Amino acid sequence: MRPEAARTLTFTRWLRRYGTLLAAALIIAGFSILSPTAFFSVENALNISRQIAFLVIVATAATVVMAAGEFDLSVGALASLGGVVAAQLAVRGVPVALCFALAGLAGLGIGLVSGLLITSFRLLSFITTLAVSTVLGGLTFWLTGGSTVFENIPPAFSALGRATLLGIPALSLVMLAVVLSVWFLLTHTSPGRRLYAVGGNESAARIAGIATGRSKTLAFALSGLLAAFTGALLASRLGSAQPTGGNGLFLPAYAAAFLGMTAFKDGIPNVFGTLVGALIIGVLANGLTILQVPTYLQDVITGLIIILAVIVQRLGAGGRR
């Protein structure tokens, strides 16, 4: 191979692996130039970290399932249900910690059922979780009567969503703890490595003796737990819970996860890549709001980001074949 071709190939590989990081840096630099006072400040940086906390955790849930080669389209509905369950329990006087725990356990149970349905009957995860999402939407409306839960919510329930520690939002710290925990699970434990093995080549993983169904079920259970817990955090932050409160997290979460597949690990779902993807989406939303760009354009941009991320990921996969 000639030196020029080798340099081009090296640059292409570098761009595929670190292009997302470069894009994030350019976006931050662009908004810093356009609005240095409002955007480029420690206060706004902390505000962005708090704003993306919900997105990051739900996107991390999606990443876990994607690592196993599947999709969970119920994460938004699970977040809505988790918020409603936690808020209603808080209204009934249940201790705050138990409200969050029970909401998370409800999500874990639903994720477990989804995983068992998919693995036991060999159903498509795309269709199954979409159906589960529809069921959860109806269940959430039944629990709330279609109205927002906000009356008689104790101040202690909202404390976590609004608290700070040494000037850092508690939500940002929770987000960081979740990211580090899931990263450790996926990269430094046997169950996590088995998930990647199943997602990489399920047939080979089965031949190697891995219980692929069990691994996938674990992924869906963890996804449900994280999504429902995010809904409880969102309800805590808002001091209320809407029956569709978490639905808006679904599309940006997968945008972040697909963006993450173009960062660090070429075409492989990874938690830190997902964090960068969520940061890009959060910075875009924050910067466009500061520049007073109409909010509907944020949805257009998010959709375009997903398309671009999928194209880049597919091009990367083609480069590896």
For 41-75, what is each residue's pLDDT tens digit? 999 999 999 999 999 999 999 999 999 999 999 99
pLDDT of residue 138: 97
As given in the structure block, the two tokens for residue 89 are 């329990």
Give the residue among 244, 228, 268 at the shortest CA–CA distance from 20.
268
| Beta bridge partners of residue 164, listed in sequence order | 169
User: Within the chain, how many helices (H) and strands (E) appear?
Assistant: 14, 2
Query: CA 186 to CA 179: how far, in whole Å?
Result: 11
Please tell me the predicted confidence (pLDDT) of residue 321: 44
**Cβ-count burial of 320 within 10 angstroms (0-12 exposed, 13-18 middle, 19+ buried)?**
exposed
CA-CA-CA-CA torsion sign (179, 183, 186, 191): negative
Residue that is written with structure tokens 């979460």 in the block: 253
In the structure encoding, which two tokens stand for residue 114, read together? 């989804």
Cβ atoms of 288 and 299 within 8 Å: the answer is: no
Residue 295 near residue 284 (C-beta atoms within 8 A): no
Q: Tell me what pLDDT residue 314 has.
A: 64
Beta strands in the chain (DSSP E): 164-165, 168-169
- Amino acid present at 269: P
What is the separation, in whole angstroms, between the first and last Cα of the chain? 18
**8 A C-beta contact, residue 261 and residue 269:** yes
Closest C-alpha to 81, from 214, 204, 231: 231
Q: Which residues of the chain have pLDDT under 50?
A: 319-321
Task: Give pLDDT, residue 59.
Answer: 98
pLDDT score of 296: 84
What CA–CA distances, in Å, run from 90 to 96, 207, 276?
Answer: 6, 48, 34
pLDDT of 199 reads 95
Type of residue at 52: I
- Residue 168, classed as helix, strand or coil, is strand
Query: Which residues on adjacent β-strands are paired with residue 118?
Result: none
Domains along the chain with CATH numbers: 19-320 (1.10.3470)
Check residue 263 and give its pLDDT.
Answer: 75
Say how far apart CA 282 and CA 51 lie, in whole Å. 7
- Over residues 263-296, the pLDDT tens digits come to 777 678 999 999 999 999 999 999 989 988 888 8
